[in-house]
């Protein structure tokens, strides 16, 4: 009997072939880039499984185990759908591989951020746990990411470990004034400076939802992002060159972390 596919991702449990770890970029066009790097490490071809709406999926082999790469789209609502449907198919480890804007001095384009926890500036996560509930990385995933980052330091990749601010919106929610109206609600003015003073490292849009869901549902979640712009007095443009630098570094380190997590899973 053919197993039904989950509605949004258009995947079935049999298609995943036992994959328990998923790498989650936001951008569907980053999925084949990650898949290509998995192929380079394993020597086995990664196969595209589905592409429906913002959700694009490839299946590959890493450290002798099947791994999934699925895009989540932008923001918490679409991320929540990806996590829900992948968990139904047997995925238990979720590793976000994304990009972010740095807000602390001393952070540069191409640097990486390993998220210990997220400031919940989103709304989707409140559908899984009250706002007082922390959005924290799973210890195993966090340690694997930090260890992988240290192993890649010799390649000139700098990594920062700390708290991320995760917002529902790219413009207003990250205090950008270059939106259509150039207007921000009073409660959002000064947000970047407040986050800086609270030692938050970066802004992005998915980690709060992912980490809250994983903690609340008994799954293992973690987040690593590449810096593609720096939030200074003058907003930096996200150029193709900056995006490429952030993407290449974050993919390399994320795959090394995934290999460690898969090795740990074999011992369980």
Residue 1 pLDDT more than 60? Answer: no
| CA gap 74, 168 in Å, rounded | 9
| CA gap 56, 172 in Å, rounded | 28
| CA gap 242, 77 in Å, rounded | 27
Q: What is the sign of the dihedral through the CA atoms of 132, 138, 139 and 141?
A: negative
pLDDT cut 70: percent of the chain above it: 96
| CA gap 262, 54 in Å, rounded | 27
The string of pLDDT tens digits covering residues 15-50 is 999 999 999 999 999 999 999 999 999 999 999 999
Ordered domains of the chain (ranges, CATH): 13-267 (3.40.50.1580)
Residues in the chain: 268
The pLDDT value given to residue 22: 99
| CA gap 247, 244 in Å, rounded | 5
- Annotated catalytic residues are 8, 85, 176, 231
| CA gap 100, 116 in Å, rounded | 15
The pLDDT value given to residue 158: 95
Residue 218 pLDDT more than 90? Answer: yes
Mean of pLDDT values over 209-213:
99
């Amino acid at each position: 009997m053919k197993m039904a596919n989950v509605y949004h991702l258009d995947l079935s449990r049999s298609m995943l072939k036992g994959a328990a770890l998923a790498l989650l970029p936001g951008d569907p066009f980053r999925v084949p880039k990650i898949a290509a790097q998995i192929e380079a490490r394993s020597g086995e071809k990664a196969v595209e499984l589905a592409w429906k709406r913002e959700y694009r999926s490839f299946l590959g082999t890493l450290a002798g185990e099947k791994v999934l790469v699925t895009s989540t789209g932008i923001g918490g609502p679409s991320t929540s759908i990806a996590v829900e449907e992948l968990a139904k198919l047997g995925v238990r480890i979720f590793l976000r591989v994304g990009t972010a804007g740095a807000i602390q001095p001393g952070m540069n384009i191409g640097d990486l951020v390993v998220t210990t926890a997220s400031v919940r500036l989103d709304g989707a996560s409140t559908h899984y746990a009250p706002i007082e509930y922390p959005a924290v990385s799973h210890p195993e995933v966090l340690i694997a990411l930090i260890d992988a980052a240290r192993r890649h330091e010799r390649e000139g990749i700098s990594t920062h470990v700390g708290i991320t601010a995760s917002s529902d919106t790219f413009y207003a929610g990250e205090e950008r004034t270059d939106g259509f109206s150039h207007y921000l609600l009073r409660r959002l003015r000064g947000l970047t400076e407040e986050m800086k003073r609270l030692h938050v490292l970066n802004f992005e849009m998915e980690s709060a939802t992912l980490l809250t869901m994983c903690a609340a549902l008994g799954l293992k979640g973690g987040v690593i992002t590449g810096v593609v712009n720096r939030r200074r007095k003058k907003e930096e443009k996200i150029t193709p060159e900056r995006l490429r630098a952030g993407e290449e570094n974050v993919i390399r380190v994320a795959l090394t972390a995934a290999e460690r997590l898969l090795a740990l899973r074999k011992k369980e």
